[in-house]
Structure 1
Amino acid sequence: MQAPQAAFSHSTWAPAGKDIVGTSLGSSRLWFTAAEGIVTEIYYPRVDIPQIRDLGFIIADDKGFWVELRRLGNYRVNLPKPYVPAVEIVHRHPRFTFTLKICPSQHRDVLLLHCQLEGDADLRPYALLSSRLGGDAENNQAFYSEHNGRKILWAMQGPFSLALMANRETGVDAWKRCSVGCIGESDGWQDFNRHGRMTWEYDSAGPGSVALMGELPNQATLALGFGTSMGSAATLAISTLFEGFSGIWDKQCCAWEAWFKNCHLPDLPHDLQQKLALSSMVLKVHEDRTFCGAMVASLAIPWGEDSQSRGGYHLVWCRDLVETAGALVAMGSVEDARNVLRYLIATQQADGHWLQNQWLGGKAFWQGIQLDEAAFPVLLASALRECKGLVDIPCTDMVTRALRFIAREGPVTGQDRWEEDSGVNTFTLSVAIAALVEGSTFLDGETREFALLLADNWNARLEEWTFVADTSLARQLGVTGYYMRITPDDMLVHDGTHSEHVLIKNRAFDPGLSADEQIATDFLQLVRYGLRRADDSHIIDSLKVVDRLLKTDTPNGSVWHRYNGDGYGEHEDGSAFDGTGCGRGWPLLTGERGHYALLAGEDPLSYLKAMATMTGTGGLLPEQVWDSAPIPERHLNPGKPSGSAMPLVWAHSEFIKLCYSRALGYPVDRPIATWNRYRGKRPEITHDLWGPRYHPRNIQAGNVLTIALRAPARVHWGINSWKDVQDMNTKNTGLDVYVVELPVAGLKAGETVQFTFYWLDQEKWEDTEYEVLITE
């Protein structure tokens, strides 16, 4: 009988705060998550395609008592070892104890669940599954039927199908009554909500948002299989059931034990070693099978229960991926990091950059341009070569194209690392400078020399571009100045003042902060990469400002906001982020601060302990933690996960790196050539660079003026109001930046240089004449 169709679509996802995530290490192409004590999104056949919303349970009798496990909230999550994603969840209620064990097959696209209900004799469990095949909640169809003498709950949509089957310990079909329905109208939850017990037995539902329900005995094993047809999904499910749950569980444990033997942990207190082991497992779980080396940012959709987004964090961000690869190198998982580099080379765009984020196959999701994402893969190639892991991976073409993009577009980024504003940002610039230096070691001749010239110029001008002094905020806080969050890009070509307004994203209203009133923690990367010393006065003053405006002390330790005025987080009343909100503390920023502490001569152990206590029920690190007064009805407690993504792979990577950095005595991901070149000191330059994106009005007396353009040109120039006019042709640096050196080192302070260009490829003159003043 066809179930009544829902009058509306209910297409939200499961909560983002996962208890645990898992996968097998065999040929199976299935990933699972658990939240609120039940199975939530399952991904198949790739780590970026969610197929269900959740698979939970209702415990009920026939007298009107019923409770949904996910709403009970009294459960414990157990793993055999911190690094083995075979999950036991024990729910407790005054009338019963319900034990759920979750384990994937090693070689079939099947998830097994073993459930046992103990307590009052008249209680029975009911499995309830909401499908989202292909990540689509609108066009699923559900069926209940018998196949080869067994009861099966099915769902299908497009090229995807699932089959949910059940066995008793004897191998006999365990299903009793079954039903399918449309969410919000005829699903099993609505049946219990309206009648207090199971009364419906529909055999088909949809197309639309659908759910499947089946009554079970007090002990049973469920198999959820996926395939390209309902028959193939059922065949996989029943085959796995007859392998036996205990056998599947043992194989999962053995496979992960064997994998973990290759992970060498540094000396740490026992509880931190356990967290480190768990973090290493989290990284491995997020790796895809088909696109080897691709890893998504999280198997979670932030504020999923309030979101209809199809994107979520099950996408690849180049930055997150390289941050994760750095943790893999630290752990000694060099081959995994090599696979990351191969994947990145394969997905590099023609002009040298990488997409803001993408599906695993390389299709763009968002469209932003972030300069650090063009630079990070170069740092990975250099790090692999340093540990002798690069071997036969050809990188010169990738590096050249990446540096070409950086040279032509920098120092400006279209978006900062938080994917918001354009301009000059200290974190982004640190990564770009390091990429130029590390990348230069793959090059030779004039191309190498120009990459270093560019790096030195950008490094020397960091404070000119991003540091402000004697502002009202600086005076208020008693410091000389501080690094700004971001410098609007047109300040590089206008008067260089820092009063221009920068719109803060994710706010219901514009707080009206000018650029020189916005601060962030991003400047710490200058120290981490060796561009500035930990005791540099600019760094120390900026730290004082950051700690006054962005730091929150929670019961679990200190945490920092991304920047003042951030709107990415829950609202003040704890309601979910909905495009606006109030930014919260990020544990990964605690890790970054720990790396600074290490370089300042401190033991970063307190930062590691803080991160380790900011975790969720299963020990996973969240994107953000709640840092206001507790709101118990929304499960928001200071220093504990908010509704943002958990786990955040980047946060686990930062925790891993800080563990290994502590053992080394310096950041494990510090670029070696960059550190050797600068060692924390601002470089002295003999060439002042004009262009391609930075147009200084002054250059230092005694320096050569290098004009850098993005197309070949004849530079028409003179001095002191167009005297001694000359023409000089540019030459290609090998990075599609065309340069000419004007011999003006002999000019004295107060003299001027004038110039314009004749564009050789367009055969026309530049519309503007430029002037540069010689200063002391």
Structure 2
Amino acid sequence: MPIDHDDAPASSTDLNRLQSPRATLRGSPRTPREAAEFAPGAPGMLPTWASSAKDVVGTALGPSRLWFTIGYGIVNEVYYPRVDLPQIRDLGFIVGDGEGFWVEVKRLGTHRVQTPDPGIPAAEIVHTHERFRIRQRIAPDPKRDVLLIELTLEGDETLFPYALLAPHLGGTGHGNTATVYAERGHTVLAAEQGPFGLALAAVDENQVDAWGMASAGYVGSSDGWQDFKRNGCMSWSYRQAGPGNVALMGQLPRRVTLALAFGGSKEAAATLAISALVQDFAAVWDDHVSRWRNWHAGLDIDGRIPESLREPVRLSAMVLRTHQDKTFPGAMVASLSIPWGNSRDDIGGYHLVWPRDLVESALALVALGAFDEARDVLRYLIATQLPDGRWYQNQWLGGSPSWTGVQLDEVAWPVLLASALAERDALGDIKVVDMVRGALGFLIRTGPSSDQDRWEEISGINAFTLATCISALVAGAEFLDEPLAEIARAVADDWNASIEDWTAATGTPLAARFGAESYYVRCAPARVLEDRGALADRIPMKNRGPDAEIVAFDQVSTGFLQLVRFGLRRPDHKVVLDTLKVVDGTIKVDTPSGPVWYRYNGDGYGEREGGLPYLGDGIGRPWPLLTGERGHYALVAGADPLPYLEAMRRMAGRGGLFPEQVWDREALPAAFLYPGKPTGAAMPLVWAHAEFVKLATGLAGRVPVDQSSAVARRYGGKPVVPRHRHWSRRAMIRRLPSGCALRLVLEEPTVVRWTVDDWRQSGEIETRAIGLGLELAELPADQLPAGVVLRFTLRSGRSGAQDGRDYALTIG
């Protein structure tokens, strides 16, 4: 572990009770220089996680409840018993001669990673040095909660490997205990915290216990890495350490198989580890590989995808499948990585379920023909829908909330998943009507303004959220009976026709700069429903400090492309073309890997100056998934999407995994940052892999695979003239086109009193319940001439109480 500490461990009496006869292996002192029951240096340094730069992520297709990651050529976080719970920081190796020479293999920078086939999460990793070659083969046991490593050291025979294990049980490096103990004829390196235990066992070629000298210690003071740093060899042997940030080390022979197991105690984990070792590693490897090959064989890839893209598509399919949980089938986390993990102990929000990321990924599974997995996602979403029809902003696997913001696109996406499955006759026996009713009711009651956009940051009205919600209203109407279906479509028509009124800026300095007439802003304040002047309001810039702001019409993003992708606007729509000019001139970056875009101008989510890790504020970096979204625009526009797919491939890490962000400045080798290559943000980002899959699978039909056919039929790239405008307490519109009827959408029985002559005469109408948790009143505004001001008041139909306001709309 790369941790330095200036304080040497306290001396102790010589005690080496647990050393096996193999402690006399050449390359290790016969008697430890320091041996004791308890390691010094409690509680250890502040813990961190491993780097987010992963080469491989994987799991077994079997009863095993274990997920593993590999980065810098060693095992990093291993997750158990759920996909959201990392239990170790890393398991790496030192090679040394016991006389002062030693090397930590992950720092060599020479490793090569191979998998049996593209998309098979079993790894052969080779590190080379002028004095040795060390090979690992890594695969999970499909039948047990065990990760197996077959290790071979070749070259200078004075050298031996040493394993370094950093437990982070329960998802933290704090409060762990570590011990070296004997279990049924085996030396076991073990750790416990709360309800979790782990065990690392090892056997040689004859399945005989393989550990030589072994030790437990505190990170930064008495751990094995510090031992080598200070003494040039393994000279400490402590039996116990903890509670604290602990680490384990043990010497191994040159050919060995290790089993890292997890259970409810160290004894339970040791039983699993030892039982996994009483079998041939090659047989476990073959079983694991065979299960994955069979899964891939059931996907719809070879006949639809160009040969040059099949390998990355298979890899992406594996990433999607790997991120699904086994306790909660259908739940998927955003990434099996911890952004900037080597600078923090917090596991962050990427081990949560985000309804948007989940459905984006499920739609990629649908595109691949992985309908079983996609149906599990839909079942999970139905099970976790809230009584008011929405979903939490994000949640733990079991459905309890983490962040509780409201994002309307996350309410719309599950409806689109149900629609996509139904269009392919793949819905099976899932009953979706109640889910759809609840979700659409929430959209109508609370839209079109969203408390948060898709980047979790800002309230208002934005084109991406509108496109998703409008599509869900139209697609979801297919599941509903009248009059609910008509209401959903009418609201969709109303919102679709209003997109430019609400979100397009005209005559601004930004427009003049790029020769544009109008362009879609990133997010319009909700007040724009009443006054277009709201586009001049100042809005916050997240991750840039508490006082950072920007004028709404000065900020743009790529979210408007969803209008084209979902069939609401043609690719040659004037505002779309103008916005492309503004966006490409503002947030596009041409890297050695290809073109890529920032989320929006002024983004602060990314490394700080000099490549320092993001710690709550920073500088936004470009996202490869946005290159995929631009490829979808090219697909609809009749251009070639392949350059965007190839650019995404070049932005991948060395193992082919897609990162969340890529570096956009000059190279910083000391920070491992290179233009067009991954930053310290999440890698892999499941959403990015889903975007690649959807674009690649859409090539054959030249239509986005996540576009609803119902939406395409209704709009064909342009809005229809709405017959109704919809007023609600969340959408208090102030103007009404001539010839358009007015519907008041309310949440309780209400008496509406209205007038067109400033209350000299008035009428009353009572709302009627229409389902979806809605009450509706329709005023005959379509019969009023332009210039008339329609006023109304609202009185509760239950209590009789007036709300005390006089509302007004101008006709025309």
Q: Same fold (TM over 0.5)?
A: yes
Q: How far apart are the structure 1 equivalents of 2:235 and 2:142?
A: 37
Alignment of 1:50-199 (within 5 A): 50-199=86-235
Q: In the alignment, is the contact (CA less than 8 A) between 1:166 and 1:175 conserved in 2?
A: yes
> 1:755 aligned to 762, 770, 792, which one?
792
Match of 1:355 in 2: 392
TM-superposed CA distance for 1:9, in Å, is: 4.1
Letter in 2 for 1:256: W
Q: In the alignment, is the contact (CA less than 8 A) between 2:652 and 2:677 conserved in 1?
A: yes
Letter in 2 for 1:345: I
Q: How far apart are the structure 2 equivalents of 1:770 and 1:405?
A: 23
Q: In the alignment, is the contact (CA less than 8 A) between 2:607 and 2:618 conserved in 1?
A: yes
Q: How far apart are the structure 2 equivalents of 1:284 and 1:755?
A: 54
> 2:244 aligned to 201, 208, 213, which one?
208
Q: How far apart are the structure 1 equivalents of 2:770 and 2:543?
A: 41
Q: In the alignment, is the contact (CA less than 8 A) between 1:5 and 1:205 conserved in 2?
A: no
Match of 1:255 in 2: 291
Match of 2:705 in 1: 668
Q: How far apart are the structure 1 equivalents of 2:642 and 2:155?
A: 45
Letter in 2 for 1:143: T
Alignment of 1:300-319 (within 5 A): 300-319=337-356
TM-superposed CA distance for 1:723, in Å, is: 3.4
Output one character per residue of 1:39-61: Cα deviation in whole Å (capped at 9) or x when no partner.
00000111111110000011112
SS in 1 for 2:534: coil
TM-superposed CA distance for 1:592, in Å, is: 0.5
> 1:524 aligned to 543, 554, 561, which one?
561
> 1:576 aligned to 583, 604, 613, which one?
613
SS in 2 for 1:733: strand
Q: How far apart are the structure 1 equivalents of 2:305 and 2:745?
A: 50
Q: In the alignment, is the contact (CA less than 8 A) between 1:692 and 1:710 conserved in 2?
A: no
Q: Does 1:624 align with 2:661?
A: yes
Match of 1:491 in 2: 528
Which piece of structure 1 moves more, 528-537 or 69-78? 69-78
Q: Does 1:514 align with 2:551?
A: yes
TM-superposed CA distance for 1:232, in Å, is: 1.3
Q: How far apart are the structure 1 equivalents of 2:572 and 2:397?
A: 42
Q: Give the fraction of aligned pairs with identical amino acids, expressed as a percent.
A: 52
Q: How far apart are the structure 1 equivalents of 2:729 and 2:307?
A: 53
TM-superposed CA distance for 1:28, in Å, is: 0.6
TM-superposed CA distance for 1:311, in Å, is: 3.0
Q: Does 1:609 align with 2:642?
A: no
Q: In the alignment, is the contact (CA less than 8 A) between 1:5 and 1:206 conserved in 2?
A: no
Change (3 A) 1:701 1:493: closer
TM-superposed CA distance for 1:484, in Å, is: 0.5
TM-superposed CA distance for 1:761, in Å, is: 2.7
Match of 1:689 in 2: 726
Q: How far apart are the structure 1 equivalents of 2:100 and 2:307?
A: 48
Output one character per residue of 1:186-230: Cα deviation in whole Å (capped at 9) or x when no partner.
111111112111111000000111111000111110001111122
Q: How far apart are the structure 1 equivalents of 2:740 and 2:370?
A: 47
Match of 2:14 in 1: none
Q: In the alignment, is the contact (CA less than 8 A) between 1:603 and 1:662 conserved in 2?
A: no
SS in 1 for 2:38: coil
Alignment of 1:334-349 (within 5 A): 334-349=371-386
SS in 1 for 2:128: strand
Q: How far apart are the structure 1 equivalents of 2:722 and 2:760?
A: 27
Change (3 A) 1:329 1:7: closer
Q: How far apart are the structure 2 equivalents of 1:741 and 1:188?
A: 76
TM-superposed CA distance for 1:494, in Å, is: 4.7
Q: How far apart are the structure 2 equivalents of 1:713 and 1:509?
A: 41
Q: In the alignment, is the contact (CA less than 8 A) between 1:6 and 1:184 conserved in 2?
A: no
TM-superposed CA distance for 1:272, in Å, is: 2.0
Q: In the alignment, is the contact (CA less than 8 A) between 2:305 and 2:697 conserved in 1?
A: no
Q: In the alignment, is the contact (CA less than 8 A) between 2:527 and 2:534 conserved in 1?
A: no
Q: In the alignment, is the contact (CA less than 8 A) between 2:453 and 2:465 conserved in 1?
A: yes
Q: Structure 1 length as normaliser, TM-score? A: 0.98
> 1:593 aligned to 630, 654, 660, which one?
630
Q: How far apart are the structure 1 equivalents of 2:45 and 2:404?
A: 28
Change (3 A) 1:759 1:532: same
Q: Does 1:733 align with 2:770?
A: yes
Q: Does 1:432 align with 2:461?
A: no
Letter in 2 for 1:230: K
Change (3 A) 1:193 1:514: same
Match of 2:255 in 1: 219
> 1:720 aligned to 757, 774, 779, which one?
757
Q: How far apart are the structure 2 equivalents of 1:12 and 1:640?
A: 23
Change (3 A) 1:695 1:312: closer
Q: How far apart are the structure 1 equivalents of 2:785 and 2:529?
A: 24
Q: In the alignment, is the contact (CA less than 8 A) between 1:302 and 1:312 conserved in 2?
A: no
TM-superposed CA distance for 1:65, in Å, is: 1.6
Q: How far apart are the structure 2 equivalents of 1:249 and 1:613?
A: 30
Alignment of 1:15-34 (within 5 A): 15-34=51-70
> 2:436 aligned to 395, 399, 404, which one?
399
SS in 2 for 1:445: coil
Letter in 2 for 1:539: V
SS in 2 for 1:573: helix
Q: How far apart are the structure 1 equivalents of 2:788 and 2:307?
A: 67
Letter in 1 for 2:751: R
Match of 2:587 in 1: 550
TM-superposed CA distance for 1:63, in Å, is: 2.3
Q: How far apart are the structure 2 equivalents of 1:748 and 1:687?
A: 16
SS in 1 for 2:332: coil
TM-superposed CA distance for 1:448, in Å, is: 1.4
Q: In the alignment, is the contact (CA less than 8 A) between 2:628 and 2:691 conserved in 1?
A: yes
Match of 1:288 in 2: 325
Q: How far apart are the structure 2 equivalents of 1:455 and 1:268?
A: 34
Change (3 A) 1:71 1:510: farther
Q: How far apart are the structure 1 equivalents of 2:180 and 2:299?
A: 46
Letter in 2 for 1:585: P
Q: In the alignment, is the contact (CA less than 8 A) between 1:7 and 1:185 conserved in 2?
A: no
Letter in 2 for 1:93: H
Letter in 2 for 1:286: H
Q: Unpaired segments of 5 or more residues in structure 2?
A: 1-36
Q: Does 1:367 align with 2:368?
A: no
SS in 2 for 1:677: helix
Alignment of 1:266-285 (within 5 A): 266-285=303-322
Q: In the alignment, is the contact (CA less than 8 A) between 1:9 and 1:138 conserved in 2?
A: no
Which piece of structure 1 moves more, 262-271 or 130-139? 262-271
Q: How far apart are the structure 2 equivalents of 1:7 and 1:109?
A: 29
Match of 1:326 in 2: 363
Which piece of structure 1 moves more, 457-466 or 358-367? 358-367
SS in 2 for 1:745: helix
Match of 2:420 in 1: 383
Q: How far apart are the structure 2 equivalents of 1:407 and 1:686?
A: 16
Letter in 1 for 2:415: V
Q: How far apart are the structure 1 equivalents of 2:567 and 2:549?
A: 34
Q: How far apart are the structure 2 equivalents of 1:701 and 1:277?
A: 54
SS in 2 for 1:207: strand
Q: In the alignment, is the contact (CA less than 8 A) between 1:272 and 1:612 conserved in 2?
A: no
TM-superposed CA distance for 1:6, in Å, is: 2.9
Q: In the alignment, is the contact (CA less than 8 A) between 2:502 and 2:532 conserved in 1?
A: no
Q: How far apart are the structure 1 equivalents of 2:359 and 2:327?
A: 19
Q: How far apart are the structure 1 equivalents of 2:47 and 2:781?
A: 66
SS in 2 for 1:18: coil
Which piece of structure 1 moves more, 152-161 or 731-740? 731-740
